Amino acid sequence: MKTPLHVYFRGIIGLFFIILAQLQLEARFSSYHTADSSSFKQFKGSILDSKTKNELIYASITVSGTSISTISNSEGKFSIKIPTEKQNSSLLISHLGYKNKVVPIKELELEKNVLFLEPSNTLLEEVVVQVLDAKNIFSGVLYNRLQNYGDDPIQMTGFYRETIKKRRSYVSLSESIVNIQKQPFSVSSQDQINLFKGRKNTDYTRLDTVNFKLQGGPYSALYIDLIKNPTLLFSEKAFELYDFSLEDITQINNKQVLVLAFKQKPTNENPLYFGKMYIDAKSLAVISATFQLNVEDKIKSGLQFTRKKPVGLDIYPTEVRYQINYRQENDKWIFAYSRGDLTFKLNWDRKIFNTIYSTTFEMAVTDSKKLDIKEDQNTQKLNSNVIMSDKVLSLADPDFWGAYNIIEPEKSIESAIRKIQRKSLNENSID
């Protein structure tokens, strides 16, 4: 039986606990020139439900006819930088359960755009009736991977962010632009990541007696690609481990989507996953998935993540959630966005109070094209066990990202970024 997701995560995105007294690794960073801001315009706004006026999180925003894209954040806000020569095009906004919206870029303001999406009414077409058996749906997903996802390596530009919070306060924020060599599912080669540029803000004084780090960095975000790595979630004996059910039917990009729910069988004692896959009804392509680890067994689930910890400290997860989205380009679906939200409780021997840490990582693909291995110059290749906060330096340049698209920061992250700027200004004034 092949190894499920949580066992792989022990080596790929394990949380790294070390004593604060240990020396930090020296951060390395290469300087890059900021792009000319006259070559693009940046547009900001929010994506809302037209009826409820609620924010729509993780909506896809793409420049029509290009691979330039971004995604709305957990508050429904977005920003996208569009080259001057593309500003006669339109934005295509899509979200599960909603009708696509096309907005001419010339109609947008630079700030405070509010774009409404209309919920779609789903009809049960004949094609859906033919695939209602949950087991057939899942088997068809695996069988149709080549047709739906292709077999070509893809070169991607991505924006990666990871945060660590102690209770409600940020103790670490790392962001980076990365170049990704995305390998097809049909080969065993691991995806490769090069660091182009990045920045961080880390306040180790808030960490008390442990140094809480996320190991794996951007590889964490790629590793939950269920198409590239289906055995991470489902082994060859998937139907012995999980119960499947067809829960609902919705729409995305005007396509009917089957909502396939899964959960581990009650007879299985090892921590597995429960969640939903959103599957195109005609092609049986997975276009999105959300899933969580069963953390009822604290000891077994805790062993999946801790790589090193002080004596006398017990660590276990209280919540582990993941999301993966794919985007259709030229009749093929490609990796577009992933996110992980993990919360841990730390208990010390002979101490009354515990400590809660939470970490979030997310990656959005902002551009893609056919892989060109010659474009790896001036980048730093990352190890799959990388700790991003040790790889980048604190910077305060407001135009740091230049023409590169990023995920619009949430309000709490904006505060952390401002802290980077204030800290840098104070250091410069001392010098």
Checking if the pLDDT of 177 tops 50, the result is yes
Q: What is the SS3 assignment for 31?
A: coil
- Check residues 413 and 118 and name the one with the higher pLDDT: 118
pLDDT of residue 167: 83
Quick one: three-class SS letters along 276-345?
A: EEEEECCCCCEEEEEEEECCCCHHHHHCCCEEECCCCEEEEEEEEEEEEEEEEECCEEEEEEEEEEEEEE
pLDDT of residue 22: 28
Any bridge partners for residue 155, and if so which?
181, 369
The percent of residues above 70 in pLDDT, for the chain, comes to 78
Buried b / exposed e along 111-143 (16+ C-beta atoms within 10 A): eebebebeebeeeeeeebeebeebeebbebbee
pLDDT of residue 12: 31
- Number of C-beta neighbours around residue 20 at 10 A: 13
pLDDT of residue 408: 83
Q: Among 159-168, 308-317, 356-365, whose mean pLDDT is lowest?
A: 308-317
pLDDT of residue 417: 66
Hey, what domains does the chain have and what are their CATH numbers? 5-23+123-430 (no CATH), 40-117 (2.60.40.1120)
Tokens 């259709």 belong to residue:
328
Checking if the pLDDT of 4 tops 70, the result is no
- Average pLDDT of the segment spanning 1-8: 32
Checking if the pLDDT of 378 tops 60, the result is no
pLDDT of residue 346: 85
Checking if the pLDDT of 18 tops 70, the result is no
pLDDT of residue 204: 57
CA distances from 407 to 361, 365, 371, 399, 414 (A): 12, 10, 23, 15, 12
Give the DSSP letter string of 389-426: GGT------TTTTTT---PPPPHHHHHHHHHHHHHHHH
Q: Give the amino acid at 77.
A: K
Q: How many CA atoms lie within 13 A of 29 on its CB side?
A: 18
pLDDT of residue 400: 81
What pLDDT, in 10s, does the model give residues 233-277? 776 678 888 999 888 888 777 788 999 999 999 888 889 999 999
* Mean pLDDT score across all residues of the chain: 80
pLDDT of residue 156: 93
Please give the Cα distance from 312 to 331 (Å, whole number).
54
Tokens 């104070």 belong to residue:
426
Alpha helices (H) in 1-132, listed in sequence order: 5-12, 126-129
- Average pLDDT of the segment spanning 202-218: 68
pLDDT of residue 129: 43
The whole-model pTM stands at 0.84
- Average pLDDT of the segment spanning 305-312: 74
- Average pLDDT of the segment spanning 399-411: 83
- Check residues 192 and 397 and name the one with the higher pLDDT: 192
Confidence of residue 379 (pLDDT cuts 50, 70, 90): low
